[in-house]
Structure 1
Amino acid sequence: MKILVAVDSLKGSLSSIEANKAISEGLLKANPDFSVQSLPVADGGEGTVEALVYATGGQFVDSVVTGPLGQPVRARYGILGDKMTAVIEVAEACGLPLIPKEERNPLFTTTYGVGELILEAIEKGCRDFIIGLGGSATNDAGVGMLQALGYQFFTKAGELAGLGGAALKEISRIDMGKVPDKVKAAKFRVACDVNNPLYGLNGAAYIYGPQKGATPEMVLELDEGLRNFANVVLEQLSTDLQSISGAGAAGGLGAAFAGFLEAELESGVKLILELARFEEQLQGVDLVITGEGKLDGQTSMGKAPAGIALLAKQHRIPVIALAGDISEGNPSLHESGITAYFTIVGGPTSLEKAMNPETTRTNLQRTGEQIGRVLQLF
């Protein structure tokens, strides 16, 4: 029997690679004659760099860039096996975990470091980019990133605009004269699974600002800035940022990538599975085992297990999904192609213990072994 193990990371516990390894060990313990192969996967968020680097035989690159509060931070990105494509998770340069909770303030946080990562990759010969949005601590419409790439934004007084969301309401003019040709020639594909507009009640500030530290008063100021920025871009560049589905993603980075860098905003899991050549990996496979930290109603809305199951379903391959937590009553999970799903938690326990990496590893090994023993009955 040939089994493909492709589990997303169990956030806070194990990476995709670690989870796959634990399940594979359990399966082989049940039957050493199983043919087990694994493939790291992600949905465009955490783990995207790791999944694509391993899937394509690429390499990791460690760098130091400007963090969300203007201080240097260490950030990792990847260069894929073709040596021409870079994969970047924006959270590496401007993510929420980089800032203590009491210091989070999207009026001041910047995406400047994301632009620095892009420039570094360009200097290393990359011309194509895969960008994973999500987890940002920012609400600057990607202006910080654009500033790092050579775009200049001026206030009515003729001064260069500052960094952070608070600077957006002061912007009145855009100058692209100093953007390098290499930046203009770069091609971007962006993993984006939200459709929020840039501003308004469903926009970046109102929907995501509070989780980034914004008070109600800050949300109003941030939204005003986003609206002003969009108006300036519309007047001067004839680009309607507000009409772009997903423009509000990652504090408006979606708008910057689509509106200034001509990026395609795409389903994260579809993009990652395409680049990892997942469909090719299904050839001759008898069973797919996938999963993530929690299976719920959101799983079928663009998460990795559902994307994997849909492709497997097209090839009539059964799919078992595993998770640490499974919410009750999810017919959508079966509709997406998941044949059966199981929790790996053996009994009542605390969340802290359940998410302990060693506990998770043991639970995955045990569950993998039990699945393997059942498979031998057929």
Structure 2
Amino acid sequence: MLAYILKRLLLMVPTLLGVLLITFVVVQFVPGGPVEQYMAEAKAGAGGSGAEGGGFSYRGAQGVDPKRVEQIKALYGFDKPAHERFFQMLGQFARFDLGKSFFQNKAVSQLVREKLPVSISLGLWTFFLSYLIAVPLGVAKAVRAGSTFDLVTTLLVLVGYAIPGFVLGVVLLVVFGGQLQWFPLRGLVSSNFDELGWGAKIVDYLWHIALPITAMVLGSFAVTAILTKNAFLEEIRKQYVLTARAKGLSERQVLWKHVFRNALIPIVTGFPAAFIGAFFTGSLLIETLFSLDGLGLLSYESVIRRDYPVVLGTLYLFTLIGLVTKLISDLCYVWVDPRVRFD
């Protein structure tokens, strides 16, 4: 086991390097980098020849003073060759220094911490509600396989899965937020949140997240529900279940004492990835639709503005967390089912 863990940890290094290298190379060929955007903003804000815009002089038809352009390149680090910038970035990441945003004048780690509460709120509620609904529903469908209940719930689950979350969000927003005005249209809390008491704060928070969480949950639990049903059906048909029934055990004892543990192996092993991923869940469309300033919106704005430190820093952080979580998920197989051997 220790040899396997060490091998997986060593394999993370080339994986991380490969992801960063490919992304860095792609970034070099994307037009409209931060220097060009800075100059475009200066030109748009200059208002005429010889005016000052964006912190340096824009001279109308003559363009921008080349010396000032070189200063801007040096400010962003683009005065160095690409390979030198890449190895400098790797040195920073090795010290867990994610760099500093070009446009927001903040460290990338600080930006992630600021946006994380919104993504945690969306991710954790989606995770817990999805499993709390999906697992019991999957068990009930397996026990009643082929019945009217099974057919109707399968139809509803597939319809919910087929409807994109942002489309459902628009419908919920228009009906319950606009026409009926039962829920707020935007934000995670009200503007007077700090003035409320503890009970009122909880109610206000739940009131605001009801619609976005509903839009995210309805499509996310479908896969887990069907997976649970299929896993239980596979176990119910095995020989040890027939033996347990022949010994006189009740159907409840057979289901929860024998079938339940084996059937949940593929589901339980996915808990670490789903739980850790909940802390870094960024749903761009849902966050944009409900005006929630989370990691999804941060990533999108960073790509649009070519804020490369934020793009590469968050990519490094999330890739590292994903690799470690994947290792933990694989180790959970041994914890849940001791028969598994990685050798």
Q: Greater relative contact order (Cα 8 A, min sep 6): structure 1 or 2?
A: 2
Relative to the length of structure 2, the TM-score reads: 0.23
The structure where strand makes up a greater share of residues is 1
The structure where helix makes up a greater share of residues is 2
Relative to the length of structure 1, the TM-score reads: 0.21
